[in-house]
Structure 1
Amino acid sequence: MSSQQPLDEPVYDDRVYRSPMAVVTGVLLLALIVWLCGDAVVRGTGTAPWFGVASALLAVPLVVAYTLRPVVLANDNRLRVRNPFRTIELPWAAVDAVRAGYSAEVLAEGHRYQLWSIPVSLRERKRANRKGGEPAGADKSVHELQELAERCATRQGAQGCVTVRWSYEIIAPAVAGALLLIVLLATR
């Protein structure tokens, strides 16, 4: 006897919303950090290797947090927003609106959550309005997410409460690097 999913619950891959330029910038910044801090560790003398380690320990998590980590993942049951220092899970039934003003955001259960991975370009918005065409960039992504929220809010799998989880895997190494830098500077 096989267990079947209800007709209301097909399984699809998540739609991914992320800024390609942020990813490129993040990779380039990480390469620069590895080059500079690696050089200090390998060829430095005195406390220079320790400053290199501390600087890398502080800078790498922050670069990852602000460039590579932000993403919005959406499927028929929920919206997952991964911002620099926290992850927010929003079942569609809890979402009141997805909108873009000066930034893209989702409103749910009386709170507003920024969508870091969907950058709003006012220049791009003006250009699309002048041409009278379809929305582009952030406006298109927000429109897709709002339609998904409206269409999927009544699904059985889309019920539940918003959950927020802090990203200690980013916060802890950055704090450790900052503390090590403070200690190194204080003992200099």
Structure 2
Amino acid sequence: MTSQDRSTPPQQQYAERSYRSPAALAGGALLLLLGLWLGGDALLRGDAHTRLTALFALLLGVPLVTAFTLRPLVRAGEDRLTVRNPFRTITLPWDAVEGLRAGYSTEVVTGDGTYQMWAIPVSLRQRKKAGRQATRGAAPHPRFGPHADAGPAPRAMADQALDELREVQERAARGESSQPHRGEPVVRWSYPVLVPIAVGAVGLAVMIAV
């Protein structure tokens, strides 16, 4: 191995980071179990009209619940940010990301537009709690005893996640010399989710009208 080979940095500089909403995952699993239980009972015991209605309701409800609860994901790699929302997947090279922000929702800003990140919800309640703790932490504390300073006040989960994503973006920016061209966002619609929702909605509307 030559000295040039030894100085070549490894392809993978740091591990990917993935973000999902635990509350959405738990709520989605419960809704799917309830829907499958009710729909399955209708399919097994109902008459022909009830069975068709239940079938179209499941075609509509299962992918719809999955899209908004189990599907959302944000994955940060060394060269790109992938945002999987209910009906779209947005792939963003880091050099196309101009900013990350959290107001009433978390968003990634590019030159072509702004994309919401469903997998990292903003909790105003968490922010208020973190703000109160930060205010108390600003007051002087004794070094010992029950009121001793326990360290920095925690931040809301969305703000913590964005801080971590910015760190990954900064690491990627330090390796920009290996990327000769500015990347462009790639947006793909999730047809495996959209098609059954459309079929279920049309079929359910017909069954209700009959």
Same fold (TM over 0.5): yes
Counterpart secondary structure, 2:41: helix
For residues 72 and 95 of structure 1, what CA distance do their matches in structure 2 show?
14
The answer for the alignment partner of 2:114 in structure 1 is 112
For residues 96 and 52 of structure 1, what CA distance do their matches in structure 2 show?
46
The answer for the alignment partner of 2:77 in structure 1 is 75
Write the deviation string for residues 40-79 of structure 1: whole angstroms up to 9, x where unpaired.
1100013000001000000000000000000100111111
Q: Report matched runs for 1:1-188 at 5 Å.
A: 6-7=8-9, 9-10=11-12, 12-132=14-134, 133-155=153-175, 156=178, 159-186=182-209, 188=210
Count of residues paired in the alignment: 186
Deviation at 1:136?
A: 2.8
Counterpart secondary structure, 1:143: helix
Residues 6 and 166 of structure 1: CA distance in aligned 2, closer, same or farther (over 3 Å): farther
Pairwise CA RMSD: 2.2
Contact 2:61/2:197 (<8 A) preserved: yes
For residues 198 and 17 of structure 2, what CA distance do their matches in structure 1 show?
33
Normalising by structure 2, what TM-score?
Answer: 0.82
For residues 99 and 173 of structure 2, what CA distance do their matches in structure 1 show?
11
Residues 11 and 4 of structure 1: CA distance in aligned 2, closer, same or farther (over 3 Å): farther
One-letter amino acid of the counterpart of residue 138, structure 1? A
Name stretches of at least 5 consecutive residues in structure 1 with no aligned partner: none
Deviation at 1:182?
A: 2.0
Residues 103 and 60 of structure 1: CA distance in aligned 2, closer, same or farther (over 3 Å): same
Deviation at 1:153?
A: 2.7
Contact 2:82/2:92 (<8 A) preserved: yes
One-letter amino acid of the counterpart of residue 68, structure 2? Y
Determine what percentage of the aligned residue pairs are the same residue.
Answer: 48
For residues 51 and 97 of structure 1, what CA distance do their matches in structure 2 show?
46
- Look at both structures and tell me which one has the larger radius of gyration over its CA atoms: 2
One-letter amino acid of the counterpart of residue 114, structure 1? Q
